[in-house]
Every structure is written in C-alpha cells, then in structure tokens.
Chain A
Amino acid sequence: MEFVQLLVVGLVTGCVYALSATGLVVTYTTSGIFNFAHGAIGMLGAFTYWQLTVGWGWPAALALPAVLLVLAPLFGAGVERVLIRPLHGASVDVTLVITLGLLLFLLGAANYIWDPATSRVLPELFTSGGTSIAGVNLSSQQILIVVVAVAVALALRTLFSRTRIGIAMRGVVDDPDLCAMSGASPARIQQLSWAIGASLASVAGILIAPKVGLSSIQLTLLVINGYAAALFGRLKSLPRTAVGGILLGIVVEMYPVYIAPHVPGFSTTATELTKAVPMIFLGVLLLFLPSARLRTSTAAGRIAPTVPGLRQSLVGGVGLVVVAVVLTESLSSDNLGIATSVVVLAIALLSLVLLTGYSGQTSLCVLTFVGLGAWAMGHSGHSVLGLLWGALLAGAAGALVALATARLRGLYLALATFAFAKGMDEAFFYFHLGAGQQLEIARFRLPGIDTSSASTFFLLCTLVLAVASVGVLAVRRGRWGRQLTALNDSPAACATLGVNTTVTKVAVFTVAAAMAGFAGGLYGSSRGIVTNNDFAVLGSLALLLAVRVGGINTITGAVFGSLTITMFPEIQKHVHGLPDKLQLAYLLTGLAAVSVGRDPDGLGGQFSRLGHHLRGLRTPPSSSPTGIPELEEARLVHS
C-alpha cells in the first residue's frame, strides 16, 4: 500500500513539475530564449499570492485570479517587452546572462520586500476535506493539484489546436519571419507566450509553497527542478514534458524509500543523494541528448579587448603587489581579512576568464570547484600540500564534467554545469559542510613565512594572484591561448583544421577547475571555517554575472567581480536600514547584468572601446559582419 501511496504522492509532485516545465517550454519554443528566471517568477507569484491572501486578507477566490490571470501575465509580458524583445538575434550567452540576471534580481527584490527572517506560511487552498480512494489517502490540495494540471493541459491543447493565436504560436516556432509575412506579429505572440509562462510558473509556485514553505530560495530552486522535465520534452514537446514531470515526481518520491536504502554498501551516500535526484535526472537527460552539430559562428559584437603584452602584464602584477604592501600598512586586521577574500576569490574568477572568457565554455559551477578545493584543504591539516590536493581534486572533477558534457555547448552546457553545481550543493556540500558540519580549516604552514599573520597571508595571496594573472595573460598570448580563442570563435573551423575539440575542451576545463580548486584551498585557509552556504549554486551565478559585468575576458573583470561580490555585504553592514545580508549582492548584480549583459564584453569592453575611441583608433563593429545569414547576397559578380 505504501507503494501506491508513494506513487500517488509522486504523481502529485510530478504535476507541479509538469506545470512549471510546461510554462518554460512554451516561452522557450516561441522566443528561443531559455528563461532561467522561470523559477524566480514562480517564487514571486507565490509570495504575491501570500501577500494578497494572508497579508491583506483577500479571499482566495479573488486573489487567485488576480495573481494568475492579471499580475503574473502582466509581469511576464512586461519582462518580454523590456528585456527579451531587444534580445532578438542575440547569442545564447547573452540571453543566459540576461535571464540569470533577472533570476538574481527577483530573488534580491523578494528578499527586500519580504524579509526572509520573518517566517511565513502559505495555507493550502483547501485545508479540510480529502478523500480515500482504494485505500490511498488524498488531501484536497493533492486532488486540486491534479485537477489543475489536467485543466491546464486541456486548456493549452485547445489553445494550440483550435484557436488562431495558438496556431500562430506554433507557427512562430516554425518560422517567425513567415509569421510576420502572413500578418501575425511575432513580437506579440512571443509576449503572449511569456505571459502564459509567468502564469504557469506562478501556479506551480502557489501549489507547491504550502508543502515546502515560503522561502524565496527554496521555492526558486524547487521550480527549477522542473527544468529536468522540460528537457525530457527536449524543450519543445508539451506532452513529453508532462510525462517527464510526472516521471520525475515519481522518481523523486520513490528514490529514498525504494532505491537509496538498497544500494549495497553505499546506502548512506545514496541517501545523501536524495535531494539531488532532479539534477541527476537532468544530467542523465543531457548525456543522452542527440549530438549537436559543430556550428555556431562568432558571437556578434565580441570586442575581446587588446591583450596586454608581457611587459605590461608584469608591470601590472608588480603594481598589484605594491598596492597590497601599502594596504597592509593601512588596513585593520579585520579589513585585511576582507581584502584577502577579495584577492582569493579573484584567483578563482581568473579561471572563468580562461574558461568562459577565452574559450567560450559557459560554467555555472565555479564555486563548486572552489568548495572542493576548500574541502581538500580542510582534510590536509597544516600541510601546504592541501592546496595541491585541492587543485587536483577540483581538476579531476572539472575533467569529469568536461568529459560528460563533451558534446554540449551554449544553453545545454550551462544547464549541465548548473545541474552539477546544484547537485553538489544538495548532495555533497549540504552533508559535509552543512548545518552543524562546518569544516574547520587550519592555515597551512610554510617554512620561513609566518602565514598566521594577516598581513603576510594577504601579501602571499596577492602574490599568487599577480602570478596567476601574468600567467593567464601569457597563456592568452601564446599557442594555447590562440587555440582557445579559435575554439571560441569557430568550433567548426577548428575541427576542420585538425583540432580535436573534445581534448581541448577537457584540457581547459581541467586547468580552470584546478585553478579554482587551488583558490579554494586559499579561501578555506583564509576563512578558517567554511559552510555549504559559501559554495551555493546561486553564489556561482552571482559571481559569473559579476565577472561578465566587469568583462569576462579581462583580468579587470575577475577583480571587479570578486570586489563587488565580496564588498556588498560589507557595505551593507555600514549602511543602516538594510536587512538581510545577501539581497544587495543579488539585487545589484542582477540589475547590472540585465542592463549591460547585452554587451558580451562587459564594462571592460566598454572601457576598452572608449580608450580606442579617445586614441582615435578604429573600433570593431558592435555587430560582426561575418556570419550574417544573407551573406551570399553580398557577393559581387564580375561578368
């Protein structure tokens, strides 16, 4: 009987995933943009509903249509108009930055409006009642969820097959230009799909909130689990998406009871994996994705600022160390600790410059590698070899991720690294660094150097940053750097010139992860104590966006990213009236990302362009003339 009961619970959970995933697929197919903020929109819907009902005492019968039929669709349509429509024709990378930025911004905004320190409960829509069918107990809420899911499925089916606008929505998927030629505006259709998407995300949020509680991060991440279902439908088939959602729901509920305890010898580990099941599901689906063709030309508008020469980078490195020496004289030991964090994080972010900036591989899991490095350090006592173990462990993890994702690029690579980060978050860091499990990390010792002194340690880390920066720039100027840039500019051309792109990709992933792991060791040593919150997936997103804002292909970008993310909480401490610690970082980073995210080179690129402009140099065009579709028209024939 327990089996049947679990099956039913799984079905209900699955319906929520299916609802969320359906909204995601509708927006993705019509606009071609994967909405990473979908989960956050669902969260926002649930909070708004709470505000109307619990906060202001509206009856559910009024609040529900207000949220689902008015506010959420208006919000979705507004997002489409302001953020999405101008992205027409943008690269995957840009759309990623914008929607991730929106995700962070919404989280920050929600935390600002609804102080996370206050606990809130969203009651179920029907608190009483319930029934028992064939011995299986069903609450009214569970029945409601199934009914809503079926109703939504039927409504969408009718929309897409019976109404002209619905048919036009499918038409846009086929060919937006042809839609316009027929007189149907693709922009309006896209806007409608975003309105529907926001509404469906909100339904999922409102239905699941009573079960998981009204926590902005929890809700966002939970709705994100629906991404796995969307991928099951290959991001295009709604029926398959629904099946994927229900399958996922059943697997999630069955796993801890029927699978985990029965894994011989590893039942503890298997049980720890429970929360990561949706991400493992997502990862497995990505593994079986049909192989994408080697394509995608240059991202338009990449300016890739001029790479400093050896002399210039050495001068910069020395300058950095000099500034550090001056700082050690003037900063208090508390502030030196913060400065050390900035420096150490910048080393980790240099790995993103190499991986994402130079070679174009999106990674949403930088902090996972940092965390692995810190964890290794924490198990190495005072030995400086801990740094090496950290680098090796993280490097090995990076190699595995790269091998598993060898065939993936763009959106799918982003999703895979996201799944890896979130899975590690939930299955590894939660159990090994989570509540009550903080890892104490002893500072390593070096002969002749007093690493326990704050200023010495700071100088040491700065030295590492300087060397790493000079090294990364040297790589960029050298043979391997040319190869990475070439891989970024055109994978197809690389392959036809004899480059095994898989080997290159695994190599750069390994090196970048090892760098992050090494930085993780330093991070752990400088902090003394780390917890799972230090390496959360949302932190990785914020860091990536901050580096992107600063300029992902520059050293400046890495330093900028580290500086802003580290300094936000510090600024907050000194400004009155700002509550929770995380929100400013999310709010501002998200805002910055959605505002400058369209420029692939970030602020670094804009400065570089300004510099070129001032020096009267020609600047590369904002959209690259190469790779435009109708290029054959540009041909000149001499007869």
Chain B
Amino acid sequence: MSTPSLDLDTYVPHVDHTYDPRDPEVALYVDEVSVRFGGVQAVSAATIAALRGQVTGLIGPNGAGKTTTFNVITGLESPTSGRVWLGNEDVSALRPYKRARRGLARTFQRLEVFGTLTARDNILAAAEFRRSWSRDGSDARATADEIVERVGLSHVQHERVDMLPTGLARLVELGRGLATRPKVLLLDEPGSGLDVAESEALGDLLIELAKEGIAVLVVEHDVDLVMRVCDRIHVLDFGRIISIGYPKDVQADPAVQAAYLGAED
C-alpha cells in the first residue's frame, strides 16, 4: 500500500473521493454526521468513507472533532443528525456492543485499558468476548498469545497495564481491538507515546493489517507516520471535512495549510 506517486505539476485537485455507502468496497461509511454539545457544533455534516484493505487517515488541528467522530461511529455518542454504515448496513440505531459484534473495534485517545489486568489478560479478555458472542469455538488463549507477539508486547505481557508507559498501553488497546477480529479498526492516536523505532513498527503493522483486508481508520498527529501509512486522508477542521485525498494532495492543499498554520495575510 505505498502512496501513489503523483507529479505535483500535473496534479488534479479534485479527484473524486465520494463513495456510496452500499459500495462493497466501503467497510465504514460516516454519512453527514453532525454533533452538537450545548451551543457548540463539534462535528458538522462530516462524511467519511473507510475502504477495505486501506489505511484511511483522519487528521486535523486540536479540537477539530476527531474523537467525537469516533464516539459516534462506535455508538458511544449519539449524533444530532447523520448515519453510520458498517459493511453496507445502516447501524445508526444499534448500541455499541452490537456494532462491535458486526466487526468494529477501536482504541481510545484517553486510554480505556483494563488497568488492573495484565497486558496479556487485556487481550485475552477481548478474545474471550469475541468467542462468547461469535461462538466460533476459536481458542482465545492461542489468539491472545499470537496477538501479544504481533503487536510487540511479549516483554511486558505479564505486567499490569496501569504500570505500563502510555505508548505500550496504546498497543494493548490495539491488540485488544485485534483480538475481536475486526473488519473495521479505528485507532485514536496510536502512535503517541511511542519512540521512533516503535512508531515505525506500528506503521508496518498498520500497513500489514490493511493488506489482510481490514479497513483501518486512524487519527494521528505524527505527520510522518500518517504520510507513510495512509492510502487516503480526510482532514477535519471545526468539525467539517475540509479536504479528502491522497497524502501528497492533502499536504499541498492550501485549505489544509490554512487550517494548520492560519490564513495567509
């Protein structure tokens, strides 16, 4: 999933990035979602499509509404208007656990780990949840061991998670999500708190997961990581999607630069 290389001179600014929620390629579709808290419009008519087998980035300045969007997708928060589609099914009316059972997993920016359990037990618990609702008879312990290895937590698997540094705790959340064998994986700043090597390994893992067919939607501030792993990027600003495109396009988009750096005088 390398970034399509584009010649900036022949670059066409308006590649069509609109999709239909019923398109089989679309694993997750956020359909004109708006959220209002009291007097504050946190998200306004945001439309996001995450495709199977791709890493989709969701970036934007602080307070742009990224985490709120994730909460709406997972059902933790109700939108004022708009719908959420998962695998071509409208799941807007479903409670969070039902969405999870349809293949949606996520991590949290403000960690929601099971702090009093060990790293492995966090992942094992998630694998057991998966087994109990899917009744697929999978071996939860084997799954847990495999994922511990895969996300690179073997060396700390028997430590309680509230003893781990934030970066590793984020990996625990990622592993926990993977243990439910998701079709769509939402990652809220997975790279923060990781060192350079860990961040690189995370990037490789995300690309790998996408290759396996998972639709990955990632909120991340580490620009290098985003540019490296994302196939397409949505830019959220004041709760609006101001730009959608391939990484290079987004980076060159004047609207994005204005959102990050302020308007040119």
| A contacts B: CB pair < 8 Å | yes
B-contacting residues of A (Cβ < 8 Å)?
A: 293-295, 297-298, 302-304, 479, 482-483, 485-486, 488-490, 492-501, 618, 620-621, 624-627, 629, 631-632, 634-639
Cβ of B129 under 8 Å from chain A: yes
B112 to chain A, nearest CB (A): 4
- B124 touching A626, Cβ below 8 Å: no
Within 8 A of A (CB), among B42-97: 62, 74-77, 95-97
Assembly CA distance A451 to B195 (angstroms): 66
Cβ of B240 under 8 Å from chain A: no
B73 to chain A, nearest CB (A): 10
Q: In the complex, what residues of B have CB within 8 A of residue A293's CB?
A: 76-77
From known contacts A489-B117, A497-B126, infer whether A626 and B97 are also in contact, taking CB-CB under 8 Å: no
- B109 touching A632, Cβ below 8 Å: yes
Which of A302, A499, A634 is close to B129, meaning CB atoms less than 8 Å apart? A499
Which of B109, B113, B133 is close to A489, meaning CB atoms less than 8 Å apart? B113
From known contacts A302-B116, A631-B110, A631-B111, infer whether A495 and B125 are also in contact, taking CB-CB under 8 Å: no
Most buried by B among A498, A626, A631, A636: A498
B173 to chain A, nearest CB (A): 8
- B113 touching A497, Cβ below 8 Å: no
Most buried by A among B74, B100, B114, B161: B114
Within 8 A of A (CB), among B189-224: 189, 192-196, 199, 221-224
Most buried by A among B97, B106, B192: B97
Q: In the complex, what residues of B have CB within 8 A of residue A624's CB?
A: 115, 162
B134 to chain A, nearest CB (A): 8
- Inter-chain residue pair count (beta carbon < 8 A): 143
Could you name 28 residue pairs across A and B whose Cβ atoms are closer than 8 Å? A302-B115, A482-B117, A482-B128, A485-B117, A489-B117, A490-B113, A490-B115, A492-B76, A492-B96, A493-B113, A495-B97, A496-B106, A497-B125, A497-B126, A497-B130, A497-B176, A498-B129, A498-B130, A499-B100, A621-B162, A626-B115, A627-B110, A631-B111, A632-B62, A632-B109, A635-B221, A636-B192, A639-B224
- B117 touching A637, Cβ below 8 Å: no
- A638 touching B129, Cβ below 8 Å: no
- B116 touching A495, Cβ below 8 Å: no
Which of B97, B110, B116 is close to A304, meaning CB atoms less than 8 Å apart? B116
Which of A295, A486, A627, A638 is close to B114, meaning CB atoms less than 8 Å apart? A486
Which of A295, A482, A639 is close to B125, meaning CB atoms less than 8 Å apart? A482
Assembly CA distance A627 to B75 (angstroms): 20
Instruction: Specify the chain B residue showing the minimal Cβ separation from A291.
Output: B78
Cβ of B105 under 8 Å from chain A: yes
- A479 touching B128, Cβ below 8 Å: yes
- B108 touching A482, Cβ below 8 Å: no
Which of A295, A496, A638 is close to B224, meaning CB atoms less than 8 Å apart? A638
Tally of chain B residues near chain A (CB < 8 A)? 54
Cβ of B163 under 8 Å from chain A: yes
- A497 touching B105, Cβ below 8 Å: yes
Cβ of B166 under 8 Å from chain A: yes
Q: In the complex, what residues of B have CB within 8 A of residue A488's CB?
A: 116
Instruction: Specify the chain B residue showing the minimal Cβ separation from A631.
Output: B110
Minimum-distance CB pairs A-B, first 8: A635-B192, A498-B100, A495-B96, A304-B116, A493-B112, A490-B112, A489-B114, A626-B111
Q: In the complex, what residues of A have CB within 8 A of residue B105's CB?
A: 496-497
Q: In the complex, what residues of A have CB within 8 A of residue B166's CB?
A: 625-626, 631, 634
Instruction: Specify the chain A residue showing the minimal Cβ separation from B125.
Output: A482
Assembly CA distance A501 to B95 (angstroms): 11
From known contacts A495-B100, A498-B129, infer whether A636 and B193 are also in contact, taking CB-CB under 8 Å: yes
Assembly CA distance A500 to B193 (angstroms): 31
Instruction: Specify the chain A residue showing the minimal Cβ separation from B113.
Output: A626
Cβ of B160 under 8 Å from chain A: yes
Assembly CA distance A298 to B113 (angstroms): 8
Q: In the complex, what residues of A have CB within 8 A of residue B122's CB?
A: 486
- A498 touching B160, Cβ below 8 Å: no
B222 to chain A, nearest CB (A): 6
- B112 touching A297, Cβ below 8 Å: yes
Instruction: Specify the chain B residue showing the minimal Cβ separation from A298.
Output: B115
Most buried by B among A297, A489, A490: A489
A272 to chain B, nearest CB (A): 38
- A485 touching B116, Cβ below 8 Å: yes
Assembly CA distance A330 to B133 (angstroms): 53
Q: In the complex, what residues of B have CB within 8 A of residue A632's CB?
A: 62, 109-110, 189, 192
Q: In the complex, what residues of B have CB within 8 A of residue A638's CB?
A: 195-196, 199, 222, 224
